[in-house]
Amino acid sequence: QVQLVESGGGLVQAGGSLKLSCTVSGLTFSDYGMGWFRQTTGKEREFVAVISWSGGNTYYPDSGQGRFTISRDNAKNTVYLQMNSLTPEDTAVYYCAADSQPFRLGYAFSRFSTWGQGSQVTVSS
């Protein structure tokens, strides 16, 4: 059974930073691309970042360029999301996700089959 357990969310002031972690069990972590998404009430889940199985390739939407950094430690089965210069618009529940197939990189929502429980990030103005 694949499990993704997130940690690191919380309340931060605008301009501050947070680092989310997601520890994975039940699959060969180093074979799978990983992603971070976020969702606010009444909106669709939004792509934040993806990283390839080796960590050698990453991809971000324009809104996260330069502020968010995804990374992974395959020895620890953990993927991270470093978030800097946070704004109130970044307030959301953040989810990590594992690609449904190994050895590929993409950011379409449909590619990801297993999700973490979600981690609330609240940015105050």
Q: How many CA atoms lie within 13 A of 75 on its CB side?
A: 0
Strand partners, 19: 82
The pair of three-digit structure tokens given for residue 94, joined into one six-digit string = 């953040």
pLDDT in tens, 64-86: 668 999 999 999 999 999 999 99
Predicted confidence band of residue 62 (pLDDT cuts 50, 70, 90): confident
**Residues 38, 49 contacting (CB under 8 angstroms):** no
Dump pLDDT digits (tens) for 109-125. Answer: 899 999 999 999 999 99
